[in-house]
């Protein structure tokens, strides 16, 4: 089992095949209409919300650097393991948009028989 959970004991939902997420890559999936980002680092798959909390950038279109995803819109940075904001958008952008990036939800991940399952 990999990933970090800050959710209750929800149900497990299969969202992808393990082969769909090569090492060092990101994949966007949707579960019940919720966009989720899958990434594989060090052979483990992690999952978190895939929309930036600052200005709705779609994170799978961003850049994955080590264990950090960089938003393609205003460059906020999030930790893949925890969903925590590592670097917020510049102060001028926060002032102009009246928004700041906040932490993203992460999901518990299980890989069973090559199927990637999330606890939702």
pLDDT averages per 10-residue partition of the chain, 120 residues: 48 96 97 95 97 95 96 95 93 84 96 96
DSSP letter assigned to residue 58: B
The DSSP-derived string for 55-97 is: T--BGGGSEEETTEEE-TTT--EEETTT--EEEPPPHHHHHHH
- Specify the pLDDT at position 90: 78
Q: What is the CATH number of the domain that holds 74?
A: 2.102.10.10
Domain count for the chain: 1
Which residue range is the domain that position 65 belongs to? 2-119
- Specify the pLDDT at position 95: 83
- Specify the pLDDT at position 50: 98
């Amino acid at each position: 089992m990999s990933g970090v959970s800050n959710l209750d004991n929800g149900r497990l939902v299969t969202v992808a095949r393990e082969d769909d997420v090569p090492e060092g890559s990101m994949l966007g999936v949707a579960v019940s209409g919720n966009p989720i980002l899958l990434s594989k680092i060090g052979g483990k798959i992690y999952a978190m919300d895939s929309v930036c909390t600052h200005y709705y950038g779609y994170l799978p279109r961003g850049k994955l650097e080590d264990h950090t995803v960089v938003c393609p819109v205003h460059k906020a940075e999030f930790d893949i393991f925890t969903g925590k904001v590592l670097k917020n958008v510049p102060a001028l952008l926060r002032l102009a948009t009246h928004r700041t990036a906040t932490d993203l939800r992460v999901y518990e991940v299980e890989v069973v028989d090559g199927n990637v399952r999330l606890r939702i």
